[in-house]
Amino acid sequence: MTTETSPGSAGVSAPAPVPQRLVLVLPSTGEFDSRTYRIATAAIARGHSVTVLARWKAGLPEREMDPAGYEIIRIRADPGEALPGRDVARRFVRIADRESSDDGLADDAGDDDETSSAEAADVTVTSVAEAGAERPEPATAPPAAPGGVLLRPIRRLAGRMIRQWSILLTIRSQSRRAREVAPLADLIHGMAYMGIPVAHAIADQQLGDPRVIYDARDIYMDAANLARMRGPVRWVIARAEKRWARRADRVVTVNEPYAEVMASRFGVPKPLIVLNCSYRFTPPEPPERRFHDHLGLPASTRVVLYQGGFSLDRGIEQLFDAIRAIDDATLVLMGYGLQEEAYREQAGSIELRDRVRIMPAVPPAELLSWVASADVVAMPIQPTTLNHRLTTPNKLFEAMAAGVPVVASDLPGMAPIVKETGAGLVVDPTDPAAIAAACREILDASPEERAAWRRRALEAAHRTYNWERQVEILFAEYGRLTGRPW
């Protein structure tokens, strides 16, 4: 029998939980944030009340109840509301977005999926033009005029500066509006560097002195767009994050290497490590054929799955090259992100039209059932930043929970786990030929060898790498902070 989620204790004897109020603050919409989902469902199962404060975007309700029993409130954060002449500022940003889209500032700032998914959208840097809740109608570029060529660099520079500062302006806007709608809390759990200042802002205006946790799921200043950013904005954000971390009652992160870096940089006690593992899960036997049914794949096709955020340096480009050398296999990209349009265009090329399929992310409650339908999960994250080199992404633990062997980057963060558990193979993530060879080794293995891969992954997930164990660590810290057991 499949048991996709089983929130609650792992059987460790502990005092009965005392119902308390938890607020989780996200700098994303909360649709696909697996860590938030796991924390919220585990807390609800123990009798606590949970509210998730997320970001609104068009097409999503401002308030909704998750089937698990917690409320999601989405806030219309508009960085432009803090700017004088904001319509003019937005116009500059739209021009800059169009003329300098290759400057790297629109990429995800974090590598925790978020995503699982994506968790990739957790720390997306949105422009003033894109993030506002009260957007003006799209404007067109000004008509060509004498001197227009000379003005273009000025417009681009102004737009870029506004987009950089929009990180802090977005935080300010979300903080202001979050204070208006946030319920009373005993503990406020701020996710990511754009969530923790909002958590502090809520705590500052509430009676009862709620405790605040900073969940630093990436080394943000060394991740994606922030790693590439230069100038005063980067310095301001780095200083601000250090201050927010030191104000928090506890810093939490997702693995040992991250904890060591953060303790040194922030000048805080070593952060509490709560791995981004999934709930224990028993995949069906025989495996379901969800991808085949959904995408209309031939019965003989093997599925190489990438799931999570669609952004640069996740190894998707290398997978496009690798899949050409894997017979009878299709690369399925399941997720979302700023690179989706570019990946769809590439996947539609003559060379890849029959080898790559792209589909939307699925809700966290359904994710493991989908992952279990794949033949191998690939995560050749590129060693482009410190954050990437030390990452232990959600997708690694999700694949293990689903009993699917992985092909992972031979990097200091994830490689030791893969080697220790025997749950897959590690490769040079920059080498598409090596990625293809590892996928073929798993796909072409005998039924007995494939069963052994599956068994090792499931044993590791059920024994060690599961949310039931991790939530005990987290809730013990919650109890220490509030003085009542969780």
In degrees to the nearest 10, what's the CA dihedral of 174, 179, 180, 184? 140
pLDDT computed for residue 59 by the predictor: 95
Q: How do the domains of the chain map onto residue ranges?
A: 1-280+466-486, 290-465
Residue type, 65: M
Q: Encoding tokens for residue 214? A: 């900073």
Topology (CATH) of 1-280+466-486: Rossmann fold (3.40.50)
Asked if 306 and 331 count as a contact pair (C-beta separation under 8 A), the reply is yes
Read off the pTM: 0.85
- How far, in Å, CA of 454 to CA of 450, rounded? 6
pLDDT computed for residue 136 by the predictor: 37
pLDDT computed for residue 442 by the predictor: 98
In degrees to the nearest 10, what's the CA dihedral of 123, 387, 326, 456? -100
Rg over CA atoms, the chain = 22
Asked if 97 and 166 count as a contact pair (C-beta separation under 8 A), the reply is no
Distances (CA, A) of 122 to 137, 371, 404: 26, 21, 26
Which of 443, 438, 399, 391 lies closest to 421 in space, CA to CA? 399
Give the DSSP letter string of 340-389. Answer: HHHHHHHHTSTTTTTTEEEEE---HHHHHHHHTT-SEEEE---SSSHHHH
- How far, in Å, CA of 446 to CA of 369, rounded? 23
CB atoms within 10 A of CB 400: 31
pLDDT computed for residue 158 by the predictor: 59
Asked whether this chain's domains 1-280+466-486 and 290-465 adopt the same fold, the reply is yes
Asked if 236 and 168 count as a contact pair (C-beta separation under 8 A), the reply is yes
Distances (CA, A) of 98 to 2, 104, 476: 47, 13, 49
Indicate the helix (H) or strand (E) that contains 307.
strand 302-309
The reply to whether CATH 3.40.50.2000 applies to domain 290-465 is yes
What does each of the 486 residues of the chain score in pLDDT, given as a tens digit? Answer: 334 444 444 445 678 999 999 999 999 999 999 999 999 999 999 999 999 999 999 999 999 999 999 999 999 988 776 566 656 555 555 554 454 444 333 344 455 544 333 333 333 333 333 333 333 334 444 455 555 556 666 666 656 666 677 888 899 999 999 999 999 999 999 999 999 999 999 999 999 999 999 999 999 999 988 888 888 889 999 999 999 999 999 999 999 999 999 999 999 999 999 999 999 999 999 999 999 999 999 999 999 999 999 999 999 999 999 999 999 999 999 999 999 999 999 999 988 988 999 999 999 999 999 999 999 999 999 999 999 999 999 999 999 999 999 999 999 999 999 999 999 999 999 999 999 999 999 999 999 999 999 999 999 999 999 999 999 999 999 999 999 999
Nearby residues of 165 by Cβ (< 8 Å), 6 or more positions away: 233
